[in-house]
Structures are given as structure tokens and as C-alpha cells.
A and B are shown apart, each in its own frame.
Chain A
């Protein structure tokens, strides 16, 4: 089956496109909206804001989360902030500039029209969140405070101490709670989506597993919205929460939705280094620390003196040296690679030699202990608790870790996937971040999608049919999807080898990190394909898990997610192998300049790579959406 990959970008100049689209949207009248049922999967920033807004418009919304409460979605862990082009700091910011920074930050691999819309909606998001009572950090005069994030030369990041994601999520959760009281929305907690049901080429429902007792359920809806997050846990060690997974998106892919740019993954430079194999995950130290922290390593390899005994002359502040214009606030992909490089040169610090210093000594001297405590106190405590070292006395040690995925299900300008009726928002779609996301842009995108875009475009989709279809969960497509889900669960529950699932996940992470992590080379990628296939085989023949499928079984949940990662990883590697250029977080060793910078190939790769499922282990089919730049011509992305 071939697919017409039409992004349906409206005509007109870039700053008028969204307004034009809104004017042309089909509408469902207020009295008719309650006749439509919309299924929203995931309750993070994107999902909860979409669910609340759709319910507020009058649709019947059914919401699904694998947590026990919508408030626990992983958006809760976002620390740093949310960007908006308010220009409250009078430092020359504008929608235009936020648009350009984001497009350049993504290394010109995102859709210009979508990025512009994101920048243009950013201000309304802040207005709305303030009206919700989000306690943003303020100046003494009572106005909103801002700070800087990587890849920008203005201060446009709004924040709530180090807990911006939590507070914004509580805002969405509150909005959703209000709709629940009004009986327009319902939350199905402790449910994991395990399949999408497609009939006559349109999404018409989902299959879920009720985690408390293993019941497999059918849910029919007139439209399905996936807001199920990213797939960083394919690397096993990541900053994502333990349960973050690719399952919902991957199921949709297997049912025909195209998966775009899976190789665009973000490695965040400032995480607490790994201490040993016993560790279950890595912890991020907010990028905001780079506002005041200076990154350095000893100038000489093998210098094992404690940091305090290394004089200035023997230190290499390598980010400031290589990127003087942006210094310690170079974008994430660039900073991460620079860190890897100095560690590869043998100049890394810490017990395993995979770490660099993030030093606050200058800042303590410049702005004082009290102010530093106010700005970063919670981060310092977090660091100390984990490492047993006090960053107020000695510099932090940090190292890059998998953090965010720019790739995701392909969507058109309306955020609809290649399956009509299936919308994808937030990190789960291939998004507006191109090949690299700038700090504080994920929260912005999740809320733009959920509060302002998808509630309108879902209405347009519903309005395109002349009658309201009856919802019927007894259709053969539901029965078939349920049968597939049950079969797979039984197969998982029956695994009785001798190897823990965790160990196989760790092995997968090792392959992905070494072969397809911060840098990627063709020989490594080719061997990764064999290694992944072998590991998948090992999983199904040798994995073991206890407990059955009809009870609350956290081992079974984990095994299902790992099984999907073992298939999905192959797609990620195929995409990385096919994209013969370096851009953003995708750095192919074969494509770099003499001084180690990424070399993009606009002639051959100025496109979105969207992949179609052709069977497990079979080569997926590639569709290309060519990128057109009308406003800003791609240039070499320099932060020097």
C-alpha cells in the first residue's frame, strides 16, 4: 500500500498560515460535540491539555494513563522551563527570533510552517498558564522572571524554580479535573494501550490492558489522540522515567501509521554520570545550571589531581574555547559531543573517566551563596543525595545521557498521522524540533499541541464526515485486535527461560548507546542490526518472568515494553544508516568537518524520512517529505 504523504501545509506567507488554516477549519456545532467520543492516550502536558480542552469544547473525552493518576506522567520531571517570545526582558526577542532559533536549533530538519506556528502560539501558552495559577518564579517587583537556555542569545525561558514541568502538568491536571467534575471527561487510570483499531483506513478505537487485573478492554471512539511520549528508554539508561516506552506509538506504526525520523534522538549533556550496572536510570541536572556553571576538564590527559588543586592555567574550559559566542550555553547536541570528545581524549574525570566538571565557584563569588541557593538549591541537594558529594564545595561531575526523542509518528500540519482519525501530539509525534530540540521547547510544544492546535484540528476531522458514526466495539476489527493483544500477552507470560528481562534491556541499551548514540558510523550501525535481531531472538527464547497475565504484574508490563523496543530499535538504526549526513543529534562519523563539526547534506537529505512497517525483521518502506524553506534559508549551523 502506498501512502500520499501530504503535509497539507496551508498557503500564504509563513506568518499567515495558521490563521488561514483556522479560518478554513470545519467546525462541529456546540450542540453536536457531545455526540462525539474522543480517546486521548497519555496524560502528560500534551495529553492532559488536549483532553481538558476538547472536553471544555463539549466533546466526550475518554482519557487513558498507565499511571494511577494523570498527575504522574513524565512531563512532571521537566525541570528547566518553557520558552515564549514575550520579550519581557527587552533584549530583542520576538516571535520571528524564537522561530529562527528553533529552526536553526533543529538544524533545518523541521517543517518551517509548524515551527513558526509553535513560536507564534508560545505567548498565549504563558498567558493561559499564569491565568491557571501556575506559580511562576517572579522578580521582586512582582513580574515574571526569565532565564537563558541553550541555543538562544536572549532570556526567554519562564520557569517555576526547578519544577516547571510539574507545575505546568498540575495546571493541565487541574483543567482536566474540572472537566471530570463536569462529567465531560473520564480518566481510565492504570490502563496501558496495546493496540489501535483501524477500520476502513480510519482509527476507530484502541485496545487496553487494565493493569490491576489484566483485563483486556475495547474502547471505541470517533478519533484517537496519542500523547504517549518518547522512546529514550530504547537506550536503557536514560533520564526518562522507568515506564516511558514506545509501545503505543509502535503499535500504531504496525497498524500503518508512518514513523518519522526515528534516528533524531537527543543526548542531554548535563546528567549525573553512571556509577555502575546496578543503576536503574540516570538523573538529569537541569540545563539552567549552565547559566552560571562553567564546564571544564584538565588540559592534560591523565591529570588526576583533585579539581581544587588544578590551577586555571591547567584547565580547559572547552565549550567557552570552542564556542565563544554561546559558551557554556551551546545547544545540547553540540555540548554533548564536545564532552564525549574530551573524554575520548582521556581527559574525562571521575572514577570511570566518563565525566567533566560543571563548576560554580565563579558564580558563588559573583552572585553570592544566598542567590545561588535560591536559583539552584534543589538541584544541588538532588546531586548531593545521589552522589554523596556537595557541589557547593567541589564542582559537579556531569556526562551526557539519552533524554528526549525528536523523532516520532509522522503527522501532517493538523497533527494527524497517516491513519485518518489518529492524531499524535507532544513528544510522541516527530515534532517541530527537527534534528535537535532546544532546551525549554518541549513544554512549549506539548502545550501548543494540546491547548491550541489539536482541539481545533480534531473538530475539522470530525466535521469532514456528514454523519456521526455509531460506536461499535463488536466490529470484527476490534475482535481481531483484541485477539492479537491476548496472544502476545500469553506469549510474554509464558516466557520461562533463565535470563531476567532487565538484563536483555540493558544489553539492548548497550548496543544502541555504543553503535547509535552520540556518534554513529556505518560499520557499527550495520553490526547493530545483527546484534538487535540476535537479542530479540534471545529475548523470546531465553527471557524469564514470574507471575501471570491476569494480575497486577510489573514484570509483564516491563517485558511487553522491552519486546517492542527490541523491534523498534531496528527501525531507529535503519533510519540512522540511511541518513548519510550529520545534523543535530544525528552525527555520522563519516560526515564531519576537519574540526569535528557536523556536515549536513541539504542536497540529498533535506527531507523528513517517514517509514512504513513491512513486517518484523523486514526492511521498512521509506517515504520522503521534502522540506521547503521560504522564510529562512538553511545555513551552516554555527555557534562559534
Chain B
């Protein structure tokens, strides 16, 4: 089949961008959406034109590199997948498909479809972990964790950090991202000692990075390629309120114990 890709082209952070139409012929139904972009880039190379920059890597829906807004929906029309798992059998011959980068205040466009998602990394730096050094852990079977809890923690932990939730949100909020990480660790005994600090530090970092607030639109969960449910946001709100009321002193980063002490 033949399709037209209407692609956002932008030379650099501060350059103006525009939509450019590209006709791609001989598209096979079994091709993935990114393979069509590959084919288009081969065509562009033949013509000596600049290739379209886009982030991609594993092409199995797990690395979280994909960051394409396809016809106005993060990762495209199919639920529960990333753009690399989208196959052309979802589209019809002659279709025009709009391809844009994530748009959010916290994610600047670097070039074409590539955005800067380092703000998500900085949210993680604020507290998305358990502080433990190699060698100091007790035997793995010392702590028993109910299967249901472990499975729910895994569901929260399955976030791939792609940023679709932010791109989908009318406020460009990172609530689902933060809620997923905080819930993953809150559900496990290992996450308890730093729980209150983590929740406050990550929420404060979210504000600092320019992400918006949550107004319960639930677009994030609908766009999430891992189908992380919105109920983790309720859990985060509860935890934040509790921490803010009872343990405000933890809002400052804890003194980082040195390895040797």
C-alpha cells in the first residue's frame, strides 16, 4: 500500500518547525511503523536530504525510546503498545498519517521527532530507588512478600519511562510516571524506610522540572504502553498527603551515608 507521512521537521531546539508531507510507496502490512520511517529515511538518503531524526532502539516495546505522537495519540491508535510495536496492517492504503514529537513544557524538541526527556531522569534521581550498597543485603528469602503485592509492585515497576503519559496529559503532568515508581517501592517492605522522603522529593522535583499538575483526565493511563492503571496516582496522592502531614522534615535530602560507615 501507499501512505503519506506528514512529519514534524525541526532543525534544532530554537529553530522553527513545520510539517512536511512525504509519500511512501510499497508499504507492506507486516511492516512496523518504524520500518516505514526507515524506508522513508533510505529514500531521503538517496535524494541527499537530511534523514528524519527519531529515537528508537529495541523495537520490542521495552526500552522506552519511542516518542512519536501518531495522529495526535502517543504511540498511535492501538492501546497498550509503543510505536515500534505498531504494524501497518492498522492503516489503510492512501492514508495520511500525522507524526509529531512529544509536546510538553518539560520536554524540549532537540531535532525533528527527538525530544529531551532528561527531566524524567531527574525525577528518578530525587528518590526513585532503595538506598542499598552491594554486599550488605540479607538472604533473599528472609523477607516474605505476598504474591499479590509483589505482582502489583511489578505492574507499577513495568513503566518504561517513555513519557507518553506526559505527552497525553493536557497539563503535561508526570503524575503517572512518579506514581508508578513511588507505588512500586511503597508496595514492598524494602521501600518503606525511605517512603515518605521519596514521595515528597519526587513530587517536589516534578514541580521543579516544569511538569503540570494532575486534574484527573486519565489520558495518561489510556496512552500508557504498559497499561499502568491510574489508581497508582490515587495511592501517590494519599501517600503525599500523609507524608506532608507527618514527616515534613524528610523533605530535605537525607545526609548520604558513605559506603564505609
Where the two chains meet, the residues of A that have a C-beta atom closer than 8 Å to any C-beta of B are 30, 49, 53, 56-58, 67-72, 74, 76-77, 86, 88, 123-124, 126-133, 135-144, 160-161, 163, 166-167, 170-171, 173-175, 177-178, 180-182, 187, 189, 212, 241-243, 275-276, 278-281, 283-284, 382, 385-386, 388, 451-452, 455, 496, 498, 500-503, 544-547, 551-555
Which of chain B's residues have a CB closer than 8 A to the CB of A189? 118, 121
CA distance A142 to B146 in the complex (A): 4
Instruction: Say yes or no: A177-B58 contact (C-beta < 8 A), given A69-B117, A72-B63, A385-B81.
Output: no
Query: Which of A57, A138, A283, A545 has its CB near the most chain B CB atoms (within 10 A)?
Result: A138
CB pair B111–A124 under 8 Å, yes or no, is: no
Given contacts A56-B259, A132-B132, A178-B256, 20 further A-B contacts (CB under 8 A): A58-B258, A68-B116, A69-B64, A130-B190, A135-B184, A137-B151, A163-B62, A166-B158, A178-B129, A275-B30, A280-B32, A280-B35, A280-B38, A385-B81, A385-B85, A386-B85, A452-B135, A545-B45, A546-B48, A552-B53
> B130, A130: Cβ atoms under 8 Å?
no
Task: Contacts A76-B62, A181-B125, A451-B134 given; indicate if A554 touches B54 (C-beta within 8 A).
Answer: yes
One of B92-100, B136-144, B212-220 at the interface: B136-144
Chain B, residue nearest A502 (CB): B42
CA distance in complex: A280, B85 (Å): 12
Contact status of A544 and B150, CB under 8 A, knowing A77-B62, A283-B60? no
Chain B 121-179 interface residues, beta-carbon cutoff 8 Å to A: 121, 124-126, 128-141, 143-147, 150-151, 153-154, 157-158, 160-161
Distance in angstroms between the alpha carbons of A208 and B161 in the assembled complex: 25
Residue of A167, A174, A386 with most partner-chain B CB within 10 A: A174
B184 lies within 8 A of A133 (CB): yes
Known A72-B65, A142-B147, A174-B124: A553·B87 in contact at CB below 8 Å: no
**How far in angstroms is the closest Cβ of chain B from A278?**
5
Let me know if B45 and A546 touch, CB within 8 A: yes
Report 9 cross-chain contacts, Cβ distance below 8 Å, ordered by A residue: A69-B121, A128-B135, A130-B137, A135-B157, A180-B125, A241-B59, A278-B35, A500-B45, A546-B50
Residue B196, interface by CB 8 Å: no
Given A133-B188, A180-B125: A555 and B51 interface contact (C-beta under 8 Å): yes
Which of B128, B136, B140, B191 is close to A177, meaning CB atoms less than 8 Å apart?
B128
Please state if B134 and A128 are interface contacts (CB–CB under 8 Å): yes
Residues in chain B near residue A139, CB distance under 8 A? 147
Q: Is the CB of B12 within 8 A of A551?
A: yes
In the complex, what residue of chain B is closest to A280 when comparing beta carbons?
A: B35
Alpha-carbon gap, A233 to B56, bound state (A): 16
CA distance A74 to B57 in the complex (A): 8
Using Cβ atoms and an 8 Å threshold, which residues of chain A touch B31? Answer: 278-279
* A546–B57 CB distance below 8 A: no
Given contacts A69-B121, A77-B63, A385-B81, contact A141 B138 (CB under 8 A): no
Asked whether A133 and B130 contact (CB < 8 A) given A76-B58, A189-B118, the answer is yes
Task: Say yes or no: is B185 at the interface (Cβ < 8 Å to chain A).
Answer: yes
Give the distance in Å from the alpha carbon of A130 to the alpha carbon of B160 in the complex.
20
| Candidates B56, B89, B143, B161; contact of A69 at CB < 8 Å | B161
Q: Which residues of A contact B25 (CB under 8 A)?
A: none
Closest chain-A Cβ to B49's Cβ sits at a distance in Å of 5
B65 and A68 form a contact (CB under 8 A): yes
Known: A180-B125, A278-B28, A278-B35. A138 touches B58 (CB 8 A): no
Quick check: B111 and A69 within 8 Å, CB to CB? no
The list of the 8 closest CB pairs from A to B, nearest first, reads A174-B129, A142-B144, A131-B137, A135-B154, A127-B137, A135-B153, A130-B140, A451-B134
Question: What is the CA–CA distance of A637 and B116 in the complex, to the nearest angstrom?
Answer: 51
Which residues in A have their C-beta under 8 angstroms from that of B190? Answer: 130-133
Q: Do the beta carbons of A144 and B130 come within 8 Å of each other?
A: no
Indicate if the CB atoms of A544 and B157 lie closer than 8 Å.
no
